[in-house]
A = this chain, B = another copy of it.
């Protein structure tokens, strides 16, 4: 590690800078040399994640060229670190027999991630190249629901009978190859889960101690049908590094580790983030075509919203000719309501995801948001009403604007809380649907209230 370098690119950091240099070197190499051996050597010292990062930054041409030239030495773990759309692009460079050959070396949970990403027919074909036992295993695993413990777990798990002594466990560990593990799981004669020993505690034990004496009982195990939200909640609550997955008879059938959970947590909050911004999933790595099409959905909803606004304005249009200034102030109540509603909805959506918001405190939270809306609605109703008075010297204009702002912000606070909660109750995704619903109602109500109140004040 070069500690002497002080010329850090502060906004991107040292690590990204090192990778950037490698990308540039790779691009130059791909353009200038046909020498595959040097290319393979260039990649040899790198982690699969680093190679994925490099590949992700290449142009489509370079990427294809690079993958084709590395083909014989391609480490399937690279696929895991690619974004889904690039993963599909890269797997398409391989034919079925090549693909099955590289996938065979992956841990079971990782191989499943790639297999699930293939098209339906394709993964059946890949499995045909697997040894029959492995093929049966994966066919079985692919049938488990993806977003549950059984879909997420890794089948390679070390378990030890409770009557074993520490040295027996150690001998067994030495004799078999398993992926990295963090806890020692102890089972009874029927493989039923009894307890766990953290590895850093286990190493300190004397060779003659019996596992049942040193294990911690009442450790958390994950029923195989638990959904991933439940699992992340559990890992967070108990700060777990790994946890066994059990079937309905409490037998250990796999293990879930913290890296799987981190991926789920991050994917979930990133997904919420995208939904709040009006996108289904990040299209950063997608083509122009797919990106454009993927964004139409939300823009279509905006069209419905603006058509509704137009209809509201048309309905009340006549009143705008009665009093100068009304047209100028027309969009204000809708904008204030929309933004204050999104504030309430954002807090509610996040709190639903982290499970801070639930049946127990729903009413208290709604009540609080109503109070906040009264306060902020009152404040901005007064302020904007006051401004309107100074501008147009007409107390009726001030009253109309102030009233519309107050009531729309009040509605925004209530809807911004109730929509996410209601959608979650109906097993929908609050982050996805709350925004459009909320914006449409605050827009329609914002214009409707302002113009409707104007009509009452100026025409009746």
Q: Of A7-15, A67-75, A117-125, A128-136, which stretch is located at the interface?
A: A7-15
Alpha-carbon separation in the docked complex, A68 to B20 (Å):
55
Also in contact, A273 and B269, with CB within 8 A (given A13-B226, A53-B237): yes
Contacts of A269 in B (CB 8 A): 266, 269-270, 273
B346 near A23 with CB under 8 A, answer no
Contacts of A12 in B (CB 8 A): 355, 358-359
- For window 50-97 of A, CB contacts with B under 8 Å fall at 50, 53, 56-57, 59, 83
Contacts of A3 in B (CB 8 A): 223, 248, 250
- Set B272, B279, B282, B332: member contacting A306, Cβ < 8 A: B332
Contacts of A309 in B (CB 8 A): 331-332, 335
Contacts of A292 in B (CB 8 A): 371-372, 375-376, 379
Q: Which of A56, A199, A330, A339 has the most CB of B within 10 A?
A: A339
Contacts of A393 in B (CB 8 A): none
- Set B24, B265, B336, B372: member contacting A291, Cβ < 8 A: B372
- For window 185-202 of A, CB contacts with B under 8 Å fall at 198-202
Alpha-carbon separation in the docked complex, A153 to B395 (Å):
61
Alpha-carbon separation in the docked complex, A274 to B273 (Å):
9
Contacts of A307 in B (CB 8 A): 387
Interface SS majority for chain A: helix
Task: Convert A225-241 into 0s and 1s, putting 1 for each residue whose CB lies closer than 8 angstroms to a CB of B.
Answer: 01101100110111101
A15 near B237 with CB under 8 A, answer yes
A347 near B227 with CB under 8 A, answer no
Q: State how many residues of chain A have any CB contact under 8 Å with chain B.
A: 131
Also in contact, A365 and B13, with CB within 8 A (given A276-B273, A278-B339, A306-B331): no
Alpha-carbon separation in the docked complex, A170 to B297 (Å):
60
List residues of chain A with CB under 8 Å of any chain B CB.
Answer: 1, 3, 9-16, 20, 23-24, 47, 49-50, 53, 56-57, 59, 83, 170, 173-174, 178, 180-182, 198-204, 221, 223, 226-227, 229-230, 233-234, 236-239, 241, 246, 248, 250, 258-259, 262, 265-266, 269-270, 272-274, 276-279, 282-285, 288, 291-292, 295-296, 298-299, 302-303, 305-307, 309-310, 313-314, 317, 320, 327-332, 334-336, 339-340, 342-343, 345-347, 349-351, 354-361, 364-365, 368, 371-372, 375-376, 379-380, 383-384, 387, 424-425, 427, 443, 447
Additional pairs, 8, CB under 8 Å, beyond known A241-B259, A278-B339, A291-B372: A11-B427, A16-B358, A182-B200, A283-B347, A284-B347, A296-B379, A310-B329, A331-B334
A-B pairs with beta carbons under 8 Å apart, 7 shown:
A14-B223, A269-B270, A273-B273, A276-B276, A282-B350, A295-B343, A309-B332
